[in-house]
Amino acid sequence: MRISRVRKKEEPKKIYRYNEAITAPRVLVLDAEGKNVGVMTVNQGITMAREQGMDLVEINPKSDPPVAKIINFGQFRYKLEKEARLQKAHQHVVEVKGIRLSLRIGAHDLEIRKNQAVKFLNDGDKVKIEIILKGREQQQLGIAREIVKTFINDVTSIVPVRLEEEIERHGNKVTALIAKS
């Protein structure tokens, strides 16, 4: 079963200007500890930073005057990349996993599907339950809905779930979407 996923647009990387790349004529300079040194020209700020063996990095270019900080640019960039990697490692993308049932499903097969659904829900994913009705089975819509309801109740007895999408018929399919609550 294929479910299309919409990719999120990545935010453009924030570009920090430093030393001669700073375009503003005057900047508000902060020292390495974050204390306000005062408003001065970019050249004065660069000279002050180089005396300390550091760089003048534009932190907030949109303020008036722009804010620049005296720091080591290499260490600053490394720290930002490290934080970005840490955030990426802690995020979990919710996927929609599919469980396919049928009108003639056996008790053992239903038990296996139920255990799969519980595993998916515990992993933080959503579960799409579907029954494909073939031929004369399309007349048995009530039975299909009852099987899906029973399945959801069985899963709910193990893991608390909420119904994301009600039990609906889409052409020859009966579907429902559940997620852990």
Name the H helices within the chain. Answer: 42-51, 73-90, 107-122, 141-156
Asked if residue 65 has pLDDT above 80, the reply is: yes
Asked if residue 1 has pLDDT above 60, the reply is: no
Provide mean pLDDT across the span 58-75: 90
Question: What is the CATH number assigned to the segment(s) 19-88?
Answer: 3.10.20.80
Token duo for residue 40: 């001065």
What proportion of the chain, given as a percentage, has pLDDT over 70? 93
Provide mean pLDDT across the span 138-153: 93
Buried b / exposed e across 92-110, counting CB within 10 Å, b at 16+?
A: eeeebbebebbeeeeeeeb
pTM > 0.75: yes or no: no
Closest by CA position to 99, among listed 28, 49, 151 = 151
Give the residue extent of every domain in the chain.
19-88, 96-180
* pLDDT interval class at 87 (50, 70, 90): confident
Q: Which CATH architecture has domain 96-180?
A: 2-Layer Sandwich (3.30)
Helix 141-156 crosses helix 107-122 at what angle (to 10 degrees)?
A: 50
Task: Please give the pLDDT value at position 7.
Answer: 64
Task: Please give the pLDDT value at position 5.
Answer: 63
Least confident of 7-16, 124-133, 147-156: 7-16
Asked if residue 6 has pLDDT above 80, the reply is: no
Asked whether the beta carbons of 36 and 75 are under 8 A apart, the reply is: no
pLDDT digits (tens, 9 = 90+) for 95-144: 899 999 999 999 999 999 999 999 999 988 999 999 999 999 989 999 99
Task: Please give the pLDDT value at position 32.
Answer: 86
Is the preceding omega at residue 66 within 30 degrees of 0, hence cis? no
* pLDDT interval class at 12 (50, 70, 90): low
Asked if residue 2 has pLDDT above 60, the reply is: no
Backbone angles phi, psi at 4, to 5 degrees: -75, 140
Task: Please give the pLDDT value at position 95.
Answer: 87
Least confident of 32-41, 52-61, 90-99: 90-99
